[in-house]
């Protein structure tokens, strides 16, 4: 169990990092700026992180593990396609994203952070793919579906396109139809 002071320090550092990325862009953020904004000594940062990239990975990993693993998306893709399960999944997912919209918008807008999100998307693909028969058709089907869902959600976050309920309906219909047509090989 992590000490409360350590947790608060890390949270302060990570919040400062996100604020500065939003203000300056990832490439222009320096650890000295993060330390100043977080009101900690620069050496304190190095006690917890090796680099600014490691701070960003910590933020993404925590968000991913706390939120998206709990969705159990792989369970939705196993067994017969079920539109109600999909709707519940997307409703939960968009509620999670909406509760921390600024964080996700920053990661989507700053092109220097795209690789970090890509790693998380690959984890989702792997989780889903493990529930299916290991075929090239299923691999490509998972790629198509997950990338389509990601693109739709990214557009909703960046440009605030559509109401959440409309996005949930589109994602549910799109995914349901594609699961039935692309991922029938079990």
Residue 54 included in any domain = no
Measured distance CA(133)–CA(7) in Å, rounded: 41
The proportion of the chain whose per-residue pLDDT surpasses 70, expressed as a percent, equals 89
Indicate whether 26 and 70 sit together in one domain. Answer: no
Task: Please give the residue range of the domain that contains residue 142.
Answer: 59-182
The proportion of the chain whose per-residue pLDDT surpasses 90, expressed as a percent, equals 46
Indicate whether 98 and 148 sit together in one domain. Answer: yes
Q: Has residue 108 got a pLDDT over 70?
A: yes
Residue 130 included in any domain = yes
pLDDT single digits (tens) 22-75: 999 999 999 999 999 999 999 999 999 999 999 998 888 877 766 766 666 666
Q: Has residue 184 got a pLDDT over 60?
A: no
Indicate whether 37 and 69 sit together in one domain. Answer: no
Residue 116 included in any domain = yes
Indicate whether 167 and 118 sit together in one domain. Answer: yes
Q: Has residue 135 got a pLDDT over 70?
A: yes
- Residue 72 pLDDT: 67
Indicate whether 112 and 39 sit together in one domain. Answer: no
* CATH number assigned to the domain comprising residue 18: 1.10.10.60
3-state helix, strand, coil in the chain (%, to 5): 80, 0, 20
Count how many domains the chain has.
Answer: 2
Residue 115 included in any domain = yes
Measured distance CA(71)–CA(14) in Å, rounded: 24
């Amino acid at each position: 169990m992590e000490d409360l002071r350590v947790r608060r320090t890390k949270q302060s550092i990570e919040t400062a990092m996100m604020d500065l990325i939003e203000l300056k862009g990832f490439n222009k953020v320096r650890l000295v700026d993060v330390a100043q904004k977080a009101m900690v000594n620069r050496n304190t940062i190095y006690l917890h992180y090796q680099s600014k990239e490691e701070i960003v990975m910590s933020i993404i990993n925590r968000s991913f593990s706390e939120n998206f693993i709990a969705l159990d998306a792989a369970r939705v893709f196993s067994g017969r396609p079920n539109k109600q399960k999909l709707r519940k999944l997307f409703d939960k997912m968009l509620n999670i994203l909406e509760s921390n919209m600024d964080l996700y918008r920053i990661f989507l807008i700053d092109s220097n952070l795209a690789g970090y999100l890509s790693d998380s998307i690959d984890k989702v693909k792997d989780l889903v793919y493990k529930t299916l028969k290991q075929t090239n058709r299923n691999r490509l089907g998972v790629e198509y579906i997950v990338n389509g869902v990601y693109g739709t959600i990214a557009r909703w976050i960046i440009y605030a396109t559509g109401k959440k309920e409309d996005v949930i309906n589109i994602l549910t219909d799109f995914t349901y139809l594609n699961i039935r047509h692309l991922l029938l090989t079990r």
